[in-house]
Amino acid sequence: MSKFGENFIWGVATSAYQIEGAFDEDGKGLSIWDTFSNKPGNVMNDENGNVACDHYHMSSSDVKMIADLGVKAYRFSIAWTRILPQGYGEVNQKGIDFYNKLIDDLLANGITPWVTLYHWDLPQTLQDEHDGWLGREIVDHFKNFADICFAAFGDRVKHWITLNEPWVVAILGYGQAVFPPAITSNSAPYLAGHHLLLAHAEAVQIYRQKYQQTQSGVIGITNNCDWREPIDDHPDNIAAAERALEFFLGWFADPVYKGNYPQSMIDRVGDRLPIFTVEEQEMLKGSSDFFGLNHYTTMMVKNDDHSADVEQSVYGNGGISEDQDVILSVDPAWGQTSMGWSIVPWGCRKLLVWIANRYGNPDIYITENGCSFDAEVVNGESADPGRVEFLHGYLEECANAIARGAKLKGYFAWSFMDNFEWALGYSKRFGLVHVDFETLVRTPKTSYHWYRDYIKENH
């Protein structure tokens, strides 16, 4: 038997705004990412997703390429503003048609669709009318959108992910102003996060009440987390690393598995952290049929006892680190991707085991893992040895985590093809397939062939 166990799900992942393009076609409304990226100064080189990979027009051939890769699962997201151009109101049939065709194409090719309902492209109207995720109204709007998607696609879609990485939405959008709506605050992220969690729980509730019995699908949430390694074995640093994980993953996973925020957050964030009612706690607890995890990198943690004026880490993903009293750093010996993210395969294993222990050994799906490396096309070939090494290293540690009892059931490489990497535009390439953004020609990279062989070997 393969070291990944029987029926392990091999997949690749993308998201709507990063690949579709056709930003204003066939009745689609504008999302906050359309608006943000079309304003100069927000995205590197003033790039935007107006065309992106033009997947909207090329989905059939893209599905063929996914099928040729040998994966049996494809994770993509639905653009809310294709279905509901304003975020609510009348359904845009052409948006439904696009995803119907995509889903049918996938199924015809033996590929199971895994559908994310929200991968950051909030309808601009909802941003304008309710302050986006800061307004409580958003919870009902998301529930309504989810309901429409379950009704339209649930006869064929059996794997749903409500939200992609609420941590990123809250921190990068409402704390660090890197993503829209570009707010800088040390309290707004907690309010946005609260509404994200409630929106997730309401969507799950509606699915379970109206659809799950007849459609027999599963639904969950995808959270992102780096691993946090104590810088040494001093108890203060060990505690600080644990705290950092609670502020990162526990923030969004504790409510879903335990019904409330981690105690360390409640104690430290004080009245900036909203409180769940008892009914909300009950609705949240158990609201994920599986543990969706996006994992990319690792950082080391030292307790910040404020004894020295230490410059806070320049590395991203610190969250609101002053609430955590942690000092983050990386080991200079670690290799790095072109994002500047450290390559630490064992961090993946440790995180999987941590999740298994903290959350009662749930079924885990890595819904994203991958890396950015530059790779051009030379003589019709695109060589990316760094990505092959990265994927190999992380997958071997996934197998090690399984050997230690973690119930990892699937793995989706991020990403199927190079795409719009948010505020970094097209400067970072995460794909197994190279995309020439002038001609839109796709060329499989070395890693595409390698992943295909690896899946075959480990089936």
The set of catalytic residues is 165, 368
Burial of 378 (0-12, 13-18, 19+ CB in 10 A): exposed
- Considering the complex, state which of residue 320 and residue 423 has its C-beta at the smaller distance from ligand GAL: 423
Sole residue written with tokens 């964030």: 269
Q: Tell whether residue 165 is a contact of ligand GAL (CB under 6 A).
A: yes
**CA distance linking residue 223 with residue 394, whole number of Å:** 18
**Residue span binding ligand GAL (CB under 6 A) among the ranges 78-86, 94-102, 160-168, 197-205:** 160-168
Please list, in sequence order, all residues whose beta carbon lies within 8 angstroms of the beta carbon of residue 214, skipping any fewer than 6 positions away. none
Q: Does 297 bind ligand GAL (CB under 6 A)?
A: no
Secondary structure (3-state) at 33: helix
Nearer to ligand GAL, 211 or 373 (CB): 373
| Contact between 349 and 278 (Cβ < 8 Å) | no
Distance CA 399, CA 401 (A): 5
Question: Is there binding between residue 20 and ligand GAL (CB under 6 A)?
Answer: no
Q: Which residue has the tokens 């991707």?
A: 337
DSSP for 368-431? EE--------BTTBB--HHHHHHHHHHHHHHHHHHHTT--EEEEEEE-SB----GGGTTS----
Phi, psi of 11 (to 5 degrees): -150, 180
Helix H segments across 109-187? 124-130, 137-153, 166-168, 174
168 binds ligand GAL (CB under 6 A): yes
Residue among 4, 160, 414, 416 that touches ligand GAL (CB under 6 A): 414
Q: Which residues contact 172 (CB under 8 A, 6 or more apart)?
A: 178, 179
Residue type, 95: G
Region 422-451 residues binding ligand GAL, contact defined as CB under 6 A: 422, 430
Q: Which residue has the tokens 């199971």?
A: 112
Under the binding rule (CB under 6 A), the answer on residue 15 touching ligand GAL is yes
- Applying CB under 6 A, the site for ligand GAL has a residue count of 12
At 88 the three-state DSSP class reads coil
Tokens 């899946």 map to which residue? Answer: 455
Query: Alpha-carbon distance 427 to 251, whole Å?
Result: 31
Residue from 202, 242, 368, 384 in contact with ligand GAL (CB under 6 A): 368
CB of 107 or CB of 424, closer to ligand GAL: 424
Q: Smallest distance, Å, CB 178 to ligand GAL? A: 12
Where does this chain touch ligand GAL (CB under 6 A) — which range of 46-54, 126-134, 162-170, 343-351? 162-170
Stretch that binds ligand GAL, among 52-60, 163-171, 271-279, 380-388 (CB under 6 A): 163-171
Among 229, 242, 289, 421, binds ligand GAL (CB under 6 A): 421
Closest distance of CB 15 from ligand GAL, Å: 5
Question: Binding string to ligand GAL for residues 236 to 275, with x set by CB under 6 A, is what?
Answer: ----------------------------------------
- Window of 133-141, 164-172, 270-278, 384-392 that interacts with ligand GAL by CB under 6 A: 164-172
> Does 47 sit near ligand GAL (CB under 6 A)?
no
Question: Per rule CB under 6 A, is residue 176 in the interface with ligand GAL?
Answer: no
* Smallest gap from residue 412 Cβ to ligand GAL (A): 11
Q: 222 with 161: CB under 8 angstroms? A: yes
To ligand GAL, the closest distance from the beta carbon of 455 in angstroms equals: 21
Give the nearer residue to ligand GAL in terms of CB position, either 264 or 298.
Answer: 298
Residue with smaller CB distance to ligand GAL, 217 or 431? 431
Per CB under 6 A, contacts with ligand GAL among 333-362 are: none
- Check: CB of residue 284 under 8 Å from CB of residue 135: no
Shortest distance, position 165 Cβ to ligand GAL, whole Å: 5
Among 59, 294, 400, 447, binds ligand GAL (CB under 6 A): 294
Binding flag, residue 276, ligand GAL (CB under 6 A):
no
Provide, rounded to whole angstroms, the least separation between the CB of residue 421 and ligand GAL. Answer: 5
Interacting residues with ligand GAL between 196 and 235 (CB under 6 A): 224
- Per DSSP, which regions of 197-319 are E strands? 218-224, 227-230, 291-294, 298-303
Residue 86: is it exposed, middle or buried by C-beta count within 10 angstroms (0-12/13-18/19+)? middle
On the 0-12 / 13-18 / 19+ scale of CB atoms within 10 A, 45 is: exposed
Under the rule (CB under 6 A), what is the footprint of ligand GAL? 15, 18, 164-165, 168, 224, 294, 368, 414, 421-422, 430
